């Protein structure tokens, strides 16, 4: 906000022709960073200010004149009468310009237009159903039986379904959204942006409970000792009985990460049959990273909050390379980045965002890393 009012002050001083040489240079640099300053119609600004009724301008102007008269004898060497009035006028209009900034009057021609994409559910017959996050709906199978209900951002499958064969549904969550699903065995799955989950409408007795993940999800698995729960994340499987864990398996990332919060899991190649002796076993508070290039797995202590904050819309970064940060921001806010500042690519940042929108996030990074950016439709273009 201080930046806004500082710019406001410089704008008014320029219109009154009282900028100092240093301020002229500063405003010139600001125009490079904020191109809209050169395109603003100040006639409209003045007209708009005339309707800014929180200031009694007649009274204020009388005070300006009174002060100007008093200044003739007391401060002749400091300000001329004309100059003093100009500076007093700045004080009157300063608040009005700040008000216009707050109301969004000054805007750029480049705006951020985030597309509204839909959560979709592909049914067993190949048809696709759009999920309205603000609505409710019933899911029915091809025989007309109700198999689940959707209310808001959660989809719950009926536990009494009696399928004898595996029938799959696939839920897809686009960038910028999150969703939750409760499977027929009671397992709850939180899906992050840019994620799809393929799962049986009903798990079959005597068979493993297997689902297929692309993207990121948090699993709270219902305990069933006779039917292990297996998450297939492309090159790896994660096998559990009953536990809480997070899996991140985005195609554009270099690794698949499994973070365990509760219970135990075994991580192994999806090309192999599960073997407790050869699988990588995780304890709570640890993570397993499967490298997609060399197909090796590494186990480390994990900061579990960092990996699960996304469920609440939060973003926690601990020494994360800027390129990876941009991927996370693209998913969370459904934007596209074009980074023309190559020096930033591998620079690491530590930050925490809780309720900030993409505008506030970009402002924070630009201040920290001294780069400029602009919006173009749903793209954010970063320049040195």
50 and 145 share one domain? no
Residue with tokens 């090309």: 271
> Which tokens is 165 given?
């064969």
Q: What is the rounded CA–CA span in Å between residue 234 and residue 248?
A: 11
148 and 293 share one domain? yes
pLDDT averaged over the chain? 81
Q: What is the pLDDT of residue 105?
A: 43
Helices 81-102 and 42-49: crossing angle, nearest 10°?
90
165 and 189 share one domain? yes
Q: How confident is the model at residue 114 (pLDDT cuts 50, 70, 90)?
A: confident
Q: What is the rounded CA–CA span in Å between residue 232 and residue 237?
A: 5
Q: What is the pLDDT of residue 27?
A: 72
Residue 281: is its pLDDT beyond 60? yes
Residue 50: is its pLDDT beyond 70? no
Q: How confident is the model at residue 37 (pLDDT cuts 50, 70, 90)?
A: low
Q: What is the pLDDT of residue 242?
A: 84
Q: Which of 89, 107, 82, 90 is nearest to 6 (CA)?
A: 90
Q: What is the pLDDT of residue 121?
A: 94
287 and 327 share one domain? no
pLDDT in tens, 123-155: 988 888 889 888 899 988 888 888 899 999 999
Q: How confident is the model at residue 48 (pLDDT cuts 50, 70, 90)?
A: very low
**Alpha-carbon dihedral angle through residues 145, 151, 152, 157, given to the nearest 10 degrees:** -60
Q: How confident is the model at residue 55 (pLDDT cuts 50, 70, 90)?
A: very low
Residue 374 lies in a domain: yes
Q: Phi first, then psi: what are they for 314, rounded to 5°?
A: -95, 160
Residue 290 lies in a domain: yes
Q: How confident is the model at residue 165 (pLDDT cuts 50, 70, 90)?
A: confident
Could you give the number of structural domains in the chain?
Answer: 3
CATH number at residue 134: 2.60.120.1440
Residue 377 lies in a domain: yes
The Cα angle at residue 293 between residues 250 and 314, in degrees rounded to 5: 30
Residue 246 lies in a domain: yes
359 and 258 share one domain? no
Strand partners, 382: 339, 373
Residue 146 lies in a domain: yes
8 A C-beta contact, residue 310 and residue 192? yes
Q: What is the pLDDT of residue 181?
A: 98
pLDDT in tens, 222-233: 999 899 999 999
Q: What is the rounded CA–CA span in Å between residue 25 and residue 347?
A: 31
Residue 222 DSSP label: P
Which residue range is the domain that position 282 belongs to?
A: 119-304
Q: Which of 39-43, 300-304, 361-365 has the lowest mean pLDDT?
A: 39-43
Q: What is the pLDDT of residue 141?
A: 82
pLDDT in tens, 176-200: 999 999 999 999 999 999 999 999 9
263 and 211 share one domain? yes
Boundary (domain end) residue, out of 51, 73, 102: 102
Residue 132 lies in a domain: yes
Q: What is the pLDDT of residue 125?
A: 82
Q: What is the pTM of this model?
A: 0.71
134 and 261 share one domain? yes
199 and 327 share one domain? no
Residue 255 lies in a domain: yes
Boundary (domain end) residue, out of 284, 304, 324: 304
222 and 368 share one domain? no
pLDDT in tens, 207-221: 999 999 999 999 999
Boundary (domain end) residue, out of 250, 279, 304: 304
pLDDT in tens, 235-257: 999 999 889 999 999 998 999 99
């Amino acid at each position: 906000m201080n930046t806004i009012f500082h710019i406001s002050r410089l704008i008014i001083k320029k219109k009154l022709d009282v900028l100092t040489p240093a301020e002229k240079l500063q405003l010139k640099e600001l125009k490079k960073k904020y191109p809209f300053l050169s395109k603003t119609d100040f006639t409209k600004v003045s007209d708009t200010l005339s309707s800014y009724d929180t200031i009694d301008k007649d009274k204020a102007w009388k005070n300006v004149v009174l002060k100007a008269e008093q200044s003739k004898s007391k401060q002749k060497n400091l300000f001329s009468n004309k100059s003093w009035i100009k500076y007093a006028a700045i004080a009157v209009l300063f608040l009005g310009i700040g008000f216009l900034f707050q109301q969004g009057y000054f805007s750029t021609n480049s705006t951020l237009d985030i597309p509204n994409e839909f959560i979709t559910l592909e049914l067993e017959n190949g048809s696709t159903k759009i999920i309205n996050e603000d609505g409710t709906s019933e899911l029915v199978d091809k025989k007309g039986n109700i198999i689940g209900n959707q209310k808001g951002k959660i989809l719950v499958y009926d536990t009494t379904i009696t399928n004898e064969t595996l029938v799959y549904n696939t839920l897809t969550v686009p960038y910028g959204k999150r969703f939750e699903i409760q499977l027929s065995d009671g397992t709850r799955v939180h899906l992050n942006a840019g994620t799809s989950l393929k799962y049986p409408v009903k798990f079959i007795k005597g068979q493993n409970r297997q689902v297929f993940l692309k993207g990121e999800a948090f699993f709270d698995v219902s305990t069933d000792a006779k039917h292990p729960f297996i998450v297939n994340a492309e090159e790896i499987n994660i096998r559990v009985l009953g536990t809480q864990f997070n899996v991140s398996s985005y195609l554009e990332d270099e690794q698949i990460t499994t973070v365990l919060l509760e219970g135990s899991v075994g991580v192994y190649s999806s090309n192999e049959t599960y073997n407790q002796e050869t699988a990588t076993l995780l304890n709570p508070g640890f993570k397993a990273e499967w490298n997609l290039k060399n197909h090796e797995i590494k186990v480390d202590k994990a900061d579990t909050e960092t990996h699960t904050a996304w469920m609440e819309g939060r973003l926690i970064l601990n020494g994360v390379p800027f390129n990876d940060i941009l991927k996370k921001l693209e998913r969370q806010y459904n934007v596209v980045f074009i980074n023309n500042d190559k020096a930033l690519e591998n620079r690491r940042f530590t930050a925490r965002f809780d309720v900030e929108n993409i505008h506030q996030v970009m402002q924070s990074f630009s201040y920290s890393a001294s780069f400029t950016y602009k919006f173009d439709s749903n793209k954010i273009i970063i320049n040195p």
